[in-house]
Amino acid sequence: MPKLTPTVVTIMQDGAPLEGAIVSLLPLDAANSRWNAAGVTDKSGKAKIRTLSQYDGAAAGKYKVTVTKTYVEPMPVEIKNGTEAQRRSYKGPPPVEYVHKNFAAKHTTPLDLEVGTSSLEQTFEVEKP
């Protein structure tokens, strides 16, 4: 495993912190292709980046940054506790996206991040759908 650099990414939307967003660092360097890193933003919009979901920090290199936040309404209790046929036939409302789809994929996100060898804190602004 490479040496990891402490990395914190802050996500803002309309000038306010975005809580509950998934921030993923997708490596652009072939040498780092095994070391995906990600975090979830807290109420201050900060995501502490972890590599392979268990190690604090990110490997040095260049990344595309994706940001997603989706809300899926839970299945109503009466359906959840109903028959198997009711659960299978339930079609809930569509998921609600909080971040523009351009930020969700490596090939469309405009966000770039370069991690070096010293601690990094970076703030990005994302748009609504």
d(CA 47, CA 93): 29
Task: Give residue-wise pLDDT tens across range 45-80.
Answer: 999 999 999 999 999 999 999 999 999 999 999 999
The strand pairing partners of 122, in sequence order, are 9
CA-closest candidate to residue 45, choices 95, 99, 5, 4: 99
Q: What is the pTM of this model?
A: 0.88
Quick one: pLDDT at residue 10?
98
d(CA 12, CA 5): 22
What are the extents of the domains in the chain? 4-69+97-125
CA separation, residue 116 to residues 3, 25, 91, 111 (Å): 10, 14, 46, 17
Domain at 4-69+97-125: CATH architecture: Sandwich (2.60)
